[in-house]
Structure 1
Amino acid sequence: HPLLLVEEAWVLKASGKPTQAQARAREAIEAGGINQGRCGPTAVLVMAGLAMETNDCKLAGHLRQNFTPGSGSPLSSTPIERFLSGAEAAAKEDLRTAVQQIVSCGRLLERSGWRNSALMPWRCIAAELYWRLGEWDQAHHLIEEAYAPAVAWGAPAALGRVLRLRGTLRGGEEGLALLQESVQVLESSADRWELSKSHYALGRQLRSFPDSTAEEHVRYAHRLADQCGIRLPSERAGTGLGPRVPGRVAATAVLTATELRVARLAAQGRTNQEIAQDAGVTSRAVEKTLTKVYRKLSIQGRAGLIETLHPLAGGLG
């Protein structure tokens, strides 16, 4: 049944298996399960978050085109539509539009009484978008706002995620303590993907001290990611936030929106054919685009992309 596929996608996402959840969501679309008549607003918000995490333009676009909340919904149509618009913009690498829409959605939801930070972690999503835009102060502000509600709500996955982002943003010994707490909290969560990202962030932070246990955390993060079905380059196991290197973010300013999207997908481990299918172009066109990217960024191949585009190579953490 189409609705069962939607529920399976929801459970898989909550269990830290985004690629499997993505597959179920696509099956649900084909079976007609994700549309206004069958799928409620809460499920749509979850599916939109999945579209952003997996960078799935097709899923984001489908949600945007096929869902309009009914007038009887306890949530007004405006915040949901804005979140869907933000999800689609994020999948298309239009980060400025994405963060504006998501912040607007979050503020409107809170005014309507919606405060479930586990189901709708809009501050975490927006903070990472701000980070990727190089706007550090806004990212810090949102994560600090997110901390108290996450503690009050108490869901391990949501709290662990906030602690990881907070620790990565703060850095130093204080950040290290927050990352260690994030790992401890997430051990009690079913979301192994979030735990993987926190172990990776902790390992990377420990390298700067240095600490002999750093590589143990990184290796464990990779094993967890494999269990979650994530077959991407090693940097994909990170938090989605990298060290404060504004020059790396600034370097991408020379890329067009299309070049940035192709570069990011390539850095995530997608083949030229997979990128071409997503973009609706030929593999040859993708190859030409990547050649331009390498030249503009003065790098050699995909390994250079992972280093240069980090943290852009990471997903929404």
Structure 2
Amino acid sequence: MSPPAPEHVHSTMPLAINILAGAGRTEGAAGWLREAHLLAQRRGGEVEQAVIRAEQALVALADGRLAHARQKVVQADALAGPDSGGLPTICAAVLAIVALHTEEPHLAEQILTRHRLHVENQHLAALLHLARGTLAAGRGETRTALVHFRTAGQRAERIGWHNPVAVPWASCAALMHHRLGEHEEAVASALLEVERSRAWGAPVRLGRALVALGRVSRGREGVTLLEEAVEVLEKGSNTHELCQALYALGTHRETDRRRRASALKRAHELAVGNGADSLARAIARKRDEYTPRTSSRTDLLTPSERKVAELAATGLSNSAISARLGTSSRMVEKHLTNSYRKLGIPGRPDLARALEKLGETPDS
């Protein structure tokens, strides 16, 4: 690698760093960029500083250091100012990608919306749909999120972008199909990303894709896939992705009790160490939920959530439930999303068993 210099931001070097981060080969990159940034600071070049901060954010993300990555995104965004059009397109994309992976979808949307090329540039448009899909999923608007994720895929396919590292739309779509009880569609989308990730060859990307496929797969097959994901990610240095795989394994309903406990314990330790505070809290809640209790849990769900969950567990679609209860499909989705979270399950296929654990039997 050439000596550190801020001028590298005007060359193809940012693209090279992007590729290295995607492949999980970032050895020495953090120190090199730190020196380059010190030189840029002395010269007062704000554009160079912003680009280097974006590169640092990407390298930190590849290493699993979420708090550090989030900090660099905020710094780069502040240097770019209210109009990020002065940044190279690839850097706007990098900032959005890191923001999405560090639990900052609002920031990702802001960065992409401000960028003047977001309409014409298919890559940035795809990332914008990923951000909006993530926000919709967080609000419980599952169908809306699915539309955004599939649109992101269409945008990426339009420019021949099959690499799932930058635009992992298929796994996102798979999880939404899973929420909606669309098992075949969920598995098909997740398999697509696994196949492309194997072709790409990056362990982190493959591990992440296997996690999605494991989450939407039924029975012991899901556990086997999640164990493979953990094994793949153990070989790398990205402890955040390893944490996610362990969390998924620990919350899969077919994971045995001893393995569940050890997976969630280690996942929590990694989340705390990575500065992923909200994830650490979520893991702690799941760990507590799986701890045997003597008290009743029948008050977990509100009456409306319980009724919707009972109907969904019998196999009724969201539209059928909406018609029967005289409520909107959006409200049905919201009640189901809340029920999944409270019951500690990933989606509709697990509802019947979870309700039985609450001492309730769904209507048949």
TM-score normalised by length of structure 2: 0.60
Bigger-Rg structure (1/2): 2
- Structure 1 residue 219, shift from structure 2 partner: 0.8
Letter in 2 for 1:25: V
- Structure 1 residue 15, shift from structure 2 partner: 1.9
Q: How does 1:46-195 map to 2 (within 5 A)?
A: 46-69=94-117, 77-91=121-135, 93=139, 94-195=141-242
1:12 equivalent to 2:60? Answer: yes
Letter in 2 for 1:210: D
2:129, 2:118 → 1: CA distance?
Answer: 17
Are the structure 2 counterparts of residues 10 and 234 from structure 1 closer, same or farther at C-alpha, using a change threshold of 3 Å?
Answer: closer
1:128, 1:19 → 2: CA distance?
Answer: 25
1:143, 1:66 → 2: CA distance?
Answer: 31
SS at match of 2:215: helix
- Structure 1 residue 167, shift from structure 2 partner: 1.6
1:204, 1:86 → 2: CA distance?
Answer: 25
Match of 1:212 among 245, 258, 261: 258
Does the aligned pair in 2 maintain the 1:52–1:91 contact within 8 Å?
A: no
Match of 2:244 among 189, 197, 203: 197
2:100, 2:311 → 1: CA distance?
Answer: 20
**Residue 37 of structure 1: aligned partner:** 86
**Residue 307 of structure 1: aligned partner:** 342
Does the aligned pair in 2 maintain the 1:196–1:225 contact within 8 Å?
A: yes
SS at match of 1:212: helix
**Residue 287 of structure 1: aligned partner:** none
- Structure 1 residue 218, shift from structure 2 partner: 1.5
Does the aligned pair in 2 maintain the 1:64–1:88 contact within 8 Å?
A: no
- Identical aligned pairs, as a percentage? 27
Are the structure 2 counterparts of residues 184 and 255 from structure 1 closer, same or farther at C-alpha, using a change threshold of 3 Å?
Answer: farther
- Structure 1 residue 160, shift from structure 2 partner: 0.5
- Structure 1 residue 95, shift from structure 2 partner: 4.3
Are the structure 2 counterparts of residues 155 and 19 from structure 1 closer, same or farther at C-alpha, using a change threshold of 3 Å?
Answer: same
Does the aligned pair in 2 maintain the 1:36–1:66 contact within 8 Å?
A: yes
SS at match of 1:232: helix
1:215, 1:182 → 2: CA distance?
Answer: 18
- Structure 1 residue 140, shift from structure 2 partner: 1.7
- Structure 1 residue 117, shift from structure 2 partner: 1.7
**Residue 272 of structure 2: aligned partner:** 226
Does the aligned pair in 1 maintain the 2:92–2:112 contact within 8 Å?
A: no
Q: How does 1:228-307 map to 2 (within 5 A)?
A: 228-232=274-278, 236-237=282-283, 247=309, 306-307=341-342
Are the structure 2 counterparts of residues 17 and 256 from structure 1 closer, same or farther at C-alpha, using a change threshold of 3 Å?
Answer: farther
1:57, 1:180 → 2: CA distance?
Answer: 29
CA deviation map 1:176-200 (0-9, x unaligned): 2211111110012222111011122
- Structure 1 residue 6, shift from structure 2 partner: 1.0
- Structure 1 residue 223, shift from structure 2 partner: 0.9
Does the aligned pair in 1 maintain the 2:73–2:99 contact within 8 Å?
A: no
Give the gaps of 5 or more residues in structure 1: 239-244, 265-292, 298-304, 313-317
CA deviation map 1:122-145 (0-9, x unaligned): 211222233344444332221011
1:50, 1:87 → 2: CA distance?
Answer: 11
Letter in 2 for 1:48: A
CA deviation map 1:54-102 (0-9, x unaligned): 443541332232213399xxxx524522431441353253543443233
| Number of aligned residues | 260
TM-score normalised by length of structure 1: 0.67
- Give me the CA root mean square deviation: 3.8
- Structure 1 residue 113, shift from structure 2 partner: 2.2
Are the structure 2 counterparts of residues 195 and 237 from structure 1 closer, same or farther at C-alpha, using a change threshold of 3 Å?
Answer: farther
1:138, 1:191 → 2: CA distance?
Answer: 29
Structure 1 segments, 4+ long, off by >6 Å, are 248-258
Give the gaps of 5 or more residues in structure 2: 1-48, 285-305, 348-364
